[in-house]
Structure 1
Amino acid sequence: MHTTGGRHFLQIPGPTNVPDRVLRAMAAPTIDHRGPEFAELTKAVLPALGPVFGTAGPVVIYPSSGTGAWEAALVNTLSPGDRVLMSETGHFSTLWSELAGRLGLQVEIIPGDWRHGADPTAIGERLAADTAREIKAVCVVHNETSTGVTSRVPDVRAAIDDAGHPALLLVDTISSLASIDYRHDEWRVDVTVAGSQKGLMLPPGLGFNAVSEKALAAAGSAGLPRSYWDWRPIIEANARGFFPSTPATNLLYGLREACTMLAEEGLEHVFARHQRHAAATRAAVRAWGLEVLCADEREHSGALTAVLVPEGLDADAVRRIILEKFDMSLGAGLGKLAGKIFRIGHLGHFNDLTLVGTLGGVQMGLQLAGVPIKPGGVEAALESLREAAA
């Protein structure tokens, strides 16, 4: 592959582009993580995270991937043999359920077609049938990164309440936090799982758990082994501005700056921007004559759009041509969607003109790959953006 001028277009749905302001913040010298300057950093970062999660409660930060934050959510609240109810919404819900099984939990899965989000009705019916209250937690992926489908968490919460069930609600927001409207406290989520490398506009390396009072109470009797992932020593150390183990100091510098940027734009504007870009992208896909994977208009993701290629064509070949010709990375199809879709990420540090360039590269790549499309996709996106700006 030959080199080209200009910047690389990183349009996978995470890791996302890191803003220059965040990169510069991370370039600060590493400091003593037991000293007073670091305590000031911690005491600035933790309160700034609360509004991003929509919580007044504790947010636990780990030097980890989102997978680590998945594990932390489970081991702090559950005991060996506990039953958890999970919805099959895509590749990442499947991975989370497999992790839960390896921890010794009994995993019950509500099957799905990977084109819809978690089904609140099915969850409510299963909980209502659980008269022995064996199900201890309901786990939902808010925004399934592999499919571009957003589950309706408030409806899941309502289904749990209507069933009168005491199960905890655990929600993965790894690709939705700071991109799609989310309200930990208002929706009465017990544990919110997140990662640094998507809407928070950081490199990979930080995992998060936002924790309710009910989840903290469950942690007091949970029996799964935990040490590194244990919330209690972290929350206790955080009160003094520190962590019980070595933190990712420079990522925390970047996190402070990212939270500042989100506050400056305003979270409502951030969410609206993502929805605007998602709508313009869907307009382009439909104008090309292609199909968006998400099948429910209520569940379209603001963070990414998954595009089905026609039967008999290879989505990975399209991605390869776009990378080679236009220096742009798109997301691959994962699991049973491998080769069938490509994913356009439009989240994080992103604006209208970046979207137009992205869709221009996709349109040219589709044409070069021999995918039979109509040529008006970019113009349809432009019209959508013009209408939103009017």
Structure 2
Amino acid sequence: MGLGSVTAHSGRHFLQIPGPTNLPDRVLRAMARPTIDHRGPDFADMALDLLQRVRPVFATSGPVLIYPSSGTGAWEAALVNTLSPGDRVLAFETGHFATLWRDMAEGLGLVVDFVPGDWRRGVDPALVAERLAADPDHDIAAVMVVHNETSTGVTSRIAEIRAAIDEAAHPALLLVDTISSLASIDYRHDEWGVDVTVSCSQKGLMLPPGLGFNAVSDKALAAAQKARLPKSYWDWTPILEANRRGYFPYTPATNLLYGLREALDLLDEEGLPAVFARHDRHAAATRAAVCGWGLEVLCADEREYSSSLTAVLLGEGHDADEVRRIILERFDMSLGTGLGKLAGHVFRIGHLGDINDLTLAGTLAGVQMGLELAGVRVDPAGLQAALQVLRTE
């Protein structure tokens, strides 16, 4: 049977993209419950509990707003609630999603100082300090940073960026996208002085797409009192008011909230430090395989390696999408495609959410076989290098 033939596969599909991620059976079962009245007392009890229990995932004691939305919606909520038309924001070209967030900001009428990058490195804290020091009149209203760039597998150092803002004694808000890092990579909203943390449901939280989140600081709430960008659906004020009683000013995604409750149970049972350590170890095993194969991890700075995903750079003469096609057709496994200017040059291995050592071992075995079938010269010792990491406690 040729590689282009349609094959009926047994067993489960390996979904190894960087989100949506695999759904735990417990989460699936929780979402299968009947929907209840979202204006009734049972819903209010659940919502009040959830709005408190989700805070430790962001490492915050402040409010977390939950929208029926994608992460893109949560991006917009962060901007329209804190900024006004013509405000200047500082953003950094760390990859495809940082670029899309820039595009949104410009479309909303903000003036974006977009610092170019090579898509292989995160935000340079020294450059943050330099740009803010060159703004003595404090015209820059916010700094926008993608914590973990899903298109590249590069994680920016938020604590150092916060220190750079403080060094410049600049009042700019710090807005951070944690869409592919929340509940997978150590993140501390309060400790790191983040003003708005943006996230969504379909990655480290092990849920389907459909929930967007904003964790907000007191400083962000104060900024919202003066922000003049148009907003209605995304307006924090009526949501926070309704949340005090356990309700929402719109129809909430009740069954996704059931799933969120179960996902929080799973995270609590494992413990967030153990969750982060598991992701770190799986990322290290994946990088060991990539280097063992003789290929290159896209991220160029080991301080910025992502624990959510690894982007693998193929050399000239090889099409990463062809490798992905072969792996999908032969082994029923989905890998992430290269986005934007990385299209055809990289594929991305997602290792976040509900996976274990054997899931990752099977994933890397499938990648190695697919590379060989695609004619990419790899050292088969790469898989053994990954297994050695997984054998080590």
Task: State the TM bucket, normalised to the shorter chain.
Answer: over 0.9
Q: Which residue number corresponds to residue 237 of structure 1?
A: 242
Q: Within 5 A, what are the aligned runs for 1:255-266?
A: 255-266=260-271
Deviations 1:92-120 (A, max 9, x none): 00000000000000011111100000111
Q: CA deviation at 1:386?
A: 1.3
Please give the residue correspondences for 1:53-202 in structure 2 after superposition, counting only pairs within 5 Å: 53-202=58-207
Which residue of the partner structure matches residue 322 of structure 1? 327
Distance 2:289 2:7 in 1: 29
CA contact (8 A) 2:7 2:330 kept: no
Paired AA for residue 314 in structure 2: V
Alignment deviations for residues 289-317 of structure 1 (CA, whole Å, 9 cap, x no partner): 00000000100000000000111210000
Cα RMSD over matched residues? 0.5
> What is the CA distance between 1:132 and its match in structure 2?
1.2
Do the aligned residues in 2 keep the contact of 1:16 with 1:348 (CA within 8 Å)? yes
Q: Does 1:27 align with 2:27?
A: no
- The answer to whether 1:356 aligns with 2:361 is yes
Q: 1:291 aligns with which of 296, 321, 337?
A: 296
- Identity rate of aligned residues, in percent? 74
Q: Following the alignment from structure 1 to structure 2, what is the Cα–Cα distance between the partners of residues 338 and 15?
A: 19
Corresponding residue for 2:259? Answer: 254
Deviation at 1:2, TM superposition (A): 2.1
Matched residues in 1 for 2:337 and 2:73: separation?
Answer: 23
In 1, distance between residues paired with 2:136 and 2:225? 24
- The aligned amino acid for 1:164 is A
The 3-state SS of whatever aligns with 1:177 is coil
Instruction: Give the structure 1 partner of residue 3 of structure 2.
Output: none
Q: Distance in 2 between matches of 1:355 and 1:166?
A: 43
Q: Distance in 2 between matches of 1:3 and 1:344?
A: 23
Counterpart of 1:57 in structure 2: which amino acid?
A: G
SS at match of 1:199: coil
**1:199-252 deviation line (CA, Å, top 9, x unaligned):** 000000000000000000000000000110001110110110000000000000
Contact residue 322 and residue 374 of structure 2 kept, 8 A: yes
Say which SS state the counterpart of residue 174 (structure 2) adopts.
strand
Deviations 1:320-374 (A, max 9, x none): 0000000000000000000000000000001000000000000000000000111
Q: Distance in 1 between matches of 2:137 and 2:317?
A: 49
User: For residues 58 and 160 of structure 1, what CA distance do their matches in structure 2 show?
Assistant: 23
Q: Any conservation in 2 of the 1:87–1:119 contact (CA below 8 Å)?
A: no
Aligned length: 388
Q: Which moved more, 1:199-208 or 1:375-384?
A: 375-384
Is there any run of 5+ residues in structure 1 with no aligned partner, and where? none
Q: Corresponding residue for 1:18?
A: 23
Structure 1 contact 63–205 (Cα < 8 Å) conserved: yes
The whole-number CA distance in structure 1 between the counterparts of 2:57 and 2:355 is: 18
- Aligned-partner Cα distance in 2 for 1:350–1:142: 22
Q: Which segments of structure 1 move beyond 4 Å, counting only runs of 4 or more?
A: none
CA distance in 2, matches of 1:76, 1:134: 18
Counterpart amino acid of residue 234 in structure 2: W
TM-score, normalised to structure 2, is 0.98
1:382 to 2:384 alignment: no
Say which SS state the counterpart of residue 199 (structure 2) adopts: strand
Unaligned ranges ≥5, structure 2: 1-5
1:36 alignment partner AA: P
Deviations 1:257-289 (A, max 9, x none): 101100110000000000000000000000000
Match of 1:221 among 226, 249, 260: 226
Q: Does the CA contact (< 8 Å) of 1:8 and 1:328 recur in 2?
A: yes
Q: Which residue of 2 aligns with 1:51?
A: 56
Matched residue of 1:332: which SS? coil
TM-fit CA distance, 1:385: 1.2
Deviation (angstroms), 1:189: 0.1
Letter in 1 for 2:284: A
For residue 268 of structure 1, the aligned residue among 268, 273, 278 is 273
CA contact (8 A) 2:314 2:320 kept: yes
1:145–1:304 contact (8 Å) kept in structure 2: yes
